[in-house]
Amino acid sequence: MRYYDKLIFELSKKGRTGFSLKTEKIGHCNLYSDCAGLLRKDEVCLPEVSETDVVRHYTNLSQMNFGVDTGFYPLGSCTMKYNPKINEEIAAMPTFNNIHPLQDKKTAEGAEEACKILEKVLCSITGMKRFTFLPCAGAHGELTGLMIIRSYHLDKGDLQRKKIIVPDSAHGTNPASAAVCGLEIVEVKSNERGLIDTDVLQQTIDSIGDELAGIMMTNPNTLGLFEQDIKIIAEMIHKAGGLLYYDGANMNPLIGVARPGDMGFDVMHLNLHKSFSTPHGGGGPGSGPVGVCEKLIPFIGVKVSGFHGNFGVMLRALTYILMLGKQNVKMVGKLATLNANYIKESLKDKYKLPIPTVCKHEFVFDGLINDGAKDGVEGATTLDIAKRLLDYGFHAPTIYFPLLFHQALMIEPTETESKETIDEFIEVMRKIADEAAENPEMLHAAPHNTPISRPDETTAARNPIVKWEN
């Protein structure tokens, strides 16, 4: 019997219970005689099931979803890496978990110390001078960082500096945050190598003049490519009176290898819930601390959330960093980069690789080389590949993002996966490519082995039915 075929109410049998405590041994109050007035008028509608039914039902339900704890999750631009369980233990310690933001400071010195250590470690990893932990997500950090840039210009009397340059290879949240901050976005197009062209950038800077607030960059950008001209770019922007914002949500490939502070960035955010192994997804608590260079320290106090930010997430990140230790932290960037390049090179004879250079922690394919299209039969698409991966027990990579290609398939293995897992993934991706070439129609109908196949995605997201109705 497949337990997930039934709702818990459908497993119910009149009179069945999940416990067998002796009633005479528990409690002092007989509800029926002592508190008759408090009793319900009607029977409560609860399922009547045995303990075995309940345990199997919920355990099976938990397996219907895909998570980092159940399998490989190569979602590009999201860093779904392993979340060590020690992080959870430390964050759950009563001495951390039971404190209140308003309690006497003297009684929370340990927590304060933990924040200070984390700030110091992040400064040394990024080359920034101070961090604020108030922002609760990456995009929240972007908004905070941009507010800091705005405050800096306003303080100097530069009221007109309201234009921000955002390359087309930036993460989608960048232009959105800039718009929320009241800035005007000026896009620069990437060149054929997927990088910023310094000539094009200079023209853009010149056309903006003294209205330039700065530039927002994701480096490595959303194609997983490192902007090699970053030092020149920094000089150009600074010379024009602008500041450089660094989107460090995906700091993985740089950890232990290079520092945004050294490249000339003035302000940045990190996603502790990506690069520093704290759980994310489902809109759960995140942390997007913002770091600044020396001259922006006076503006770091913007109040963007209550109290001290998501302290539990900060503790998890600190635990991860301390657990790795100085030597192993230096391996994070190298391993993340090695793993991504290994997958890319192992699959590029089957998948189209529009930008064939060395990547950082992630890279983008543009669909299959042979998608199996024949007369009257449509070839297998990126969506088909993503769905078919589920049949083999792998989560799909990011699909149809970035928007620079039609069949984008963005893969990020992270540094926490073993070679064996990565090899299995490569084998399955090759197998799917062969299946597509022979029988694309089978792929159009995938997944075949999951509890549900292809729901209407809009309806599933907008009008999910999550409640049992009699």
Residue ranges that bind ligand PLP, judged by CB under 6 A? 77, 137-139, 171, 173, 218, 247, 249-250, 271, 286, 288
What's the min distance (Å) between Cβ of 266 and ligand PLP?
Answer: 17
Task: Round to whole Å and give the CA distance between 215 and 225.
Answer: 17
Task: Round to whole Å and give the CA distance between 59 and 6.
Answer: 13
Q: 252 Cβ partners below 8 Å, 6+ apart?
A: 79, 81, 274, 275, 332, 333, 336, 360, 361, 414, 415
What's the min distance (Å) between Cβ of 422 and ligand PLP?
Answer: 21
Smaller CB separation from ligand PLP, 50 or 305: 305
What's the min distance (Å) between Cβ of 174 and ligand PLP?
Answer: 7
Smaller CB separation from ligand PLP, 171 or 388: 171
Smaller CB separation from ligand PLP, 138 or 309: 138
* Cis, bond preceding 84 (omega within 30 deg of 0): no
Task: Round to whole Å and give the CA distance between 57 and 5.
Answer: 10
What's the min distance (Å) between Cβ of 309 and ligand PLP?
Answer: 13
Smaller CB separation from ligand PLP, 175 or 440: 175
What's the min distance (Å) between Cβ of 430 and ligand PLP?
Answer: 28
For residue 389, with 0-12 CB atoms within 10 Å meaning exposed, 13-18 middle and 19 or more buried, which class applies? buried
Smaller CB separation from ligand PLP, 221 or 381: 221
What's the min distance (Å) between Cβ of 4 and ligand PLP?
Answer: 30
Task: Round to whole Å and give the CA distance between 370 and 459.
Answer: 32
**Residue listed under structure tokens 């070439």:** 437
Smaller CB separation from ligand PLP, 220 or 440: 220
- The residue whose Cβ lies closest to ligand PLP is 138
Smaller CB separation from ligand PLP, 150 or 361: 361
Spell out the alpha helix ranges (H) of 218-278.
Answer: 230-239, 260-263, 272-275
What's the min distance (Å) between Cβ of 248 and ligand PLP?
Answer: 8
What's the min distance (Å) between Cβ of 246 and ligand PLP?
Answer: 10
What's the min distance (Å) between Cβ of 361 and ligand PLP?
Answer: 11
Structure tokens at 215: 């530039």
Give the closest residue to 254 by CA, choosing from 358, 336, 322. 336
Smaller CB separation from ligand PLP, 402 or 440: 402
Contact 39, 6 (CB under 8 A): no
Smaller CB separation from ligand PLP, 371 or 412: 412
Task: Round to whole Å and give the CA distance between 272 and 277.
Answer: 7
Nearest-10 crossing angle of helices 382-391, 419-438: 120
Cα separation values, 123 from 126, 136, 147, 320, 328, Å: 5, 18, 20, 16, 17
